[in-house]
Structures are given as structure tokens and as C-alpha cells.
Amino acid sequence: MQHLYVPFWRSALVLGLIFLTACAQRPRAEEPISDFEQHLVPPQGASVPPELPAEVAEALLPKLGAEAELAPAVVQEPRFDVAAEKIPAGDFFMGLVTGTPYNMVVQPGLEGEVSLALKNVTIPEVMEVLRDVYGYHYRQTATGFQVMRGGIQTQLFHVNYLNLVRRGSSQTRVSSGQVSEYDSDDDDDSGSSNSGNRERSVVSGSEVGTESINDFWQELTTALRTMVGQEDGRRVIVQPQASVVVVRALPPELRQVADYLSAIQGNLQRQVTLEAKILEVELNDGFQSGINWSLLTGGDVVLSQTGGGTIFGDSGVSDIAGNSGILSPLNPTEMIEGSTASAFGGVFSAALTFNDFAAFIELLETQGDVQVLSSPRIATVNNQKAVIKVGSDEFFVTDISSDTVTGTATTTSPDITLTPFFSGIALDVTPQIDAGGRVTLHVHPTISQVTDQQKTITVAGQAQTLPLAFSTVRESDSIVSAESGQVVVIGGLMKNLSSKKTAGIPLLGQLPGVGSLFRHSQVTSRKSELVILLRPMVVGDDTWRQALQESTDSFERLGSQLNDEWRGGPFARPAQ
């Protein structure tokens, strides 16, 4: 049996290396986001595919949506000079396409002569000139042109719109007067009396009403029949169920109808996304008179408040009050000066260019405690009312009467009238979008709170307790104009908040008579202001690109936040 002897210095060297390895600092675990990003980065030395030419990339990535449908094929049309003097129309059309890739079909019996002199034109341009000047109707097909005689023709048009009639209305009322009520009928001959038929009249102090009726198909039928008429066999047939319009008229009239339908469909398909923030700002002690909008001015926001009641200056009156000026709706971001603003008792206007509401909310937090009551988002098309309602309906007794029937026995039955009262937030918005992307909004926000209140009324010496609805409403009705992406601010809707706190010595503070000596009450009164932020975003061809970019930025911010939390969080490995 052989024994293997290892020198002592070799054993010591191995033990020393093992000891150093155990004391070495272990590398920190990679953060999950960084590890994920490493898999996305190609390794060093990997072959990078060559960049595609712009023409090839454009062909492989076609445009989306309506842009792809409307994009015409890029074809270089040959241009030439054309001159003719009293040439028969049929011969001119047939000779026009000689030596070109176009085909021509002329309906027999085409009359008239052609005289023209055109330079540097294409075949389609010549056909349009002949149609506009001589009235020769033609149809362009995949292979060429078809020229037809003038006369009554029938053409089919597709109109994409919903088959419905939409009605909307909104009212803002300030009642100040007397409510009168009286019976509208007397007892009848049957021996029964009815006290339930009553009429009421309310004297209203102020009222603003807005009504919209959208009956598109009826209005379209009236407009087309006015344009075409009914002489010499002209007809207009509208089929809303099939979204089809059939027009029988002369070729020039058919072209006018086509242009009209194209224009109205373009206006009807404009869409806007409305983002809203309804905020309740409980004002700090230094801002009990309301939000000081002058403190929010800066490079990204233009605010102005002039005329009577302004708080911008030490004297309480704006320095520019009294200067000449006008109230211009075309320039809402400029200062409104002069006697025009003073006559209104002070005018507040705001135009913001924030990308989101967060920056403006942070500015408001410097003046009070901000609570977001609602954050609705809705999309609607041009001139269509959109309503957002968040809350609940509760029924209250608004009328009590009795029906008494006298016969062999007298029977009395109560008649109770219940009326729903809404508590919550309602926002009514109607947009109008012009061709430049500017949006005009009719805005009607309402914030209501209804509670039950017991009222004691003494009638004929008898006290009666009636449960009545106590309603607190804050609403406004206005028309504003803003660019797409601009934030509209509606403010100034304030209310008082009162709270009472009682503290004292137990038992002693509850003694009758002397208990007030051992307790104290504190009544706190504060004010809150309602602020409504609206941002209209017109939906365009690049809206989806902006949405993707916003999503990408959001993921990048989330990844950065997760990395920061991982480095400093409880799962971070301490240094050895």
C-alpha cells in the first residue's frame, strides 16, 4: 500500500485561498428592471442588420386608418399642350387619349363642339375643364374615362350616420318669489270630493335654458330637395336605415350634391375627447376670500382678473382699470382692460398650456387642501351633447293630499307625491369643432347635495311637522372657447364649511345648569371653492401616436421608480 505525502506549504496555500474566497464581497443582485433591460440590449459583437432605405421602410409600413384610404397613388402623369378649334366633342375625346395609357368610351349622340387652348396639363385636368365649362359628364374608371350625354341621371351616395333623433336640454334657474297653489276643480254630483288636482305657479327670478335637437336625416332631406328641386323628373330618396341617398338630377347638380355630402360628413366625423377634473379646495387661513389666481401666473399659464373686485393690487382695484379696451373672444389670453371689465364687476379668464392636470393641482395645493371629487373622461362628436352623472337619486315627499268618497260609508285615502332629487356631480358639455381644431364648449356643471329637513308649520292652531328636501346646489352655465389641449378653468363657486367641537370634564360637563362651567365648545368656519378643469383634445390622425408616446413615457417613469425603490427598499442587500 502506497502513501501519498503532500508538502506542508501546498496545504497552507490551499487553505489560504479558501479563506480569501470566503471573505470576498459578494456582488449585489441585479435589479429586476436592469436585468430585464439587459435582455433587451443586443450583445456586443452581434451582427447589426443594415438600415433599410426610406422608400423600402415606407412601403413595408403603410399608413393606418383613414389616412391609408385617402392617400392617392403616386403616379407621374404626362403633361402636354392641347389646342382645339370647333372640333366635334366626340372626335375630340377620342383623339385626346391617343398615345396615352388611358381608354376612352363616348356615348353615342354626344353633341357640341370644343374650342380650347391649354398648356402643361394632364388628361384628368383636361377632363375636369371640359366638365366645368361645357358640362360634359364623365366617369373615371380603373381603365379610363366614360363620357355620357347630358340629361337627368341617377347617382347613389353613402352617408354614414346614426338613424336617430337626439334631443337635449339644460336649465339653470334662480327662483325668487312666491309659490301659489289652488284647486282646479270642484266637487262633482256623485257626492265625492277630490282635493288632489291642483295647479302651481312659480315666480322665477332668473333662468337660462339651452336646447339642442339633432334630426340629421330630416334636415338632410330638406337640404337636398332644396338644392335639386322636383322639376323635370328630379328626385331625392333618403333611406336612413340603409345610410343611402339616391339623387336623380343633372350632372352639375349631382356634383354639387357630392360636394355638399362630403363637406357635412367631414364636419360630423370630427371627434373630441373631454377630460375633466372637479376639485374642492378647502382654503387656508390666508385665502379665505378665494383662490388668488395671480399667484399661479407663470410661463405656462396666463391668468387675468380686472375690473371691480380684483385683489391684484393693494388698493383693491386693478392698475389698468379705466384704460380703453374691449372684450375680445378671439384673444382670450390677453388682459381684458378698461371700462368693459369694470362694467361686469370683474372678469376672470384663464388659459393654461399644461400637458396634464398634475402641475395645476400642485399649484392649488399651496392655497388649500385639494380634493378631487370626480375625474370623468368622455368622447363625443361635433355638436353632440355629452352628459356625465355621478351620484344617486333619493325620493322625497313633495305633496300630500286626500281623496274623500262619500257613499254608504265615507272613505278617505291619502295621495302622496314623491319627487326624485339628485345628489352628486353632473357635467353637461356640448362641443363645436372648427376646421382649425379650435373647440367651442357649452359647459353646465352641477354639484348638488340633498338632505332631509324637518319643518314645523302651524296651521289653524295645529303644529304639523313636514319632511322637506334641503338642497345645496352649485352650478354654472357658460360658453367657452379653447384650443385643442388647452385647459379651461371654471372657478369661484364657494361655500361655507362650519364645524362644532365640544370638550369638557366627563360627568361634570353633562350636569344640567352648571354643566356649561365644565365644558367648552369651539365653532370653526372655513370656506371651500369649487374648481372645474376641462381639457378638450381633438382626435386627429396622429392621436394614436401621442397615446403610444404617453404610454411609453409612463412605463419609463414606472421603471425608474421601481429601480429606486429596489435599491433603497427592504430587499436591498447590505454591503459586506
For residue 76, what is its C-alpha cell?
A: 407621374
pLDDT for position 106: 93
* Residue given cell 393641482 in the structure block: 361
How many Cβ atoms from other residues are within 10 Å of residue 489's Cβ? 22
* Contact criterion met (CB below 8 Å) for 343 and 336: no
How many Cβ atoms from other residues are within 10 Å of residue 146's Cβ? 15
Question: What pairing do the DSSP bridges indicate for beta strands 235-239 and 198-214?
Answer: unpaired
pLDDT by 10s per residue, the chain, length 576: 444 454 555 665 655 655 555 555 554 444 444 454 454 455 555 455 566 566 655 555 555 444 444 445 556 788 889 999 999 999 999 999 988 889 999 989 888 999 999 999 999 999 999 988 888 888 888 889 999 887 888 899 999 999 988 888 888 777 665 555 555 555 544 444 444 455 555 555 677 788 888 899 999 999 999 999 888 889 999 999 999 999 999 888 898 999 999 999 888 888 998 888 888 888 877 666 667 666 655 444 444 443 333 334 444 444 434 444 433 444 444 444 433 333 333 334 444 445 567 777 777 888 888 888 888 888 889 999 988 888 888 888 777 777 777 777 777 777 778 888 888 888 889 999 988 888 999 988 888 888 888 888 776 677 778 778 888 888 888 888 888 888 888 877 777 777 777 777 787 777 787 777 777 777 777 788 888 888 888 887 666 666 677 777 777 877 777 777 666 655 555 555
pTM for this model (two decimals): 0.59
Q: Is 191 left (phi over 0), alpha (psi -120 to 50) or beta?
A: left
pLDDT for position 360: 75
For residue 346, what is its C-alpha cell?
A: 370683474
pLDDT for position 50: 61
* Residues forming CATH 3.55.50.30 domain(s) in the chain: 80-150
The secondary structure of 52-119 as a DSSP string is PPHHHHHHHSPPPHHHHHH---------EEEEEEEEEHHHHHHHHTTTSS-EEEE-TT---EEEEEEE
How far is it, in rounded angstroms, from Cα 50 to Cα 107?
A: 56
For residue 147, what is its C-alpha cell?
A: 363620357
* Residues forming CATH 3.30.1370 domain(s) in the chain: 151-168+208-269
Q: What is the DSSP letter of 143?
A: S
pLDDT for position 327: 38
For residue 223, what is its C-alpha cell?
A: 337640404
How far is it, in rounded angstroms, from Cα 433 to Cα 437?
A: 6
**Helix extents (H) in 318-453:** 338-343, 358-364
For residue 481, what is its C-alpha cell?
A: 372657447
For residue 295, what is its C-alpha cell?
A: 399667484
How far is it, in rounded angstroms, from Cα 219 to Cα 212?
A: 14
- 151-168+208-269 belongs to CATH 3.30.1370: yes
Phi then psi dihedrals of residue 542, to 5 deg: -100, 15
* Residue given cell 396615352 in the structure block: 100
* Contact criterion met (CB below 8 Å) for 360 and 533: yes
Determine whether 292 is exposed, middle or buried from the number of CB atoms within 10 Å of its CB (0-12, 13-18, 19+).
middle
How far is it, in rounded angstroms, from Cα 524 to Cα 132?
A: 79
How far is it, in rounded angstroms, from Cα 436 to Cα 152?
A: 38
How far is it, in rounded angstroms, from Cα 277 to Cα 487?
A: 10
- 80-150 belongs to CATH 3.90.1150.10: no
pLDDT for position 346: 38
pLDDT for position 218: 93
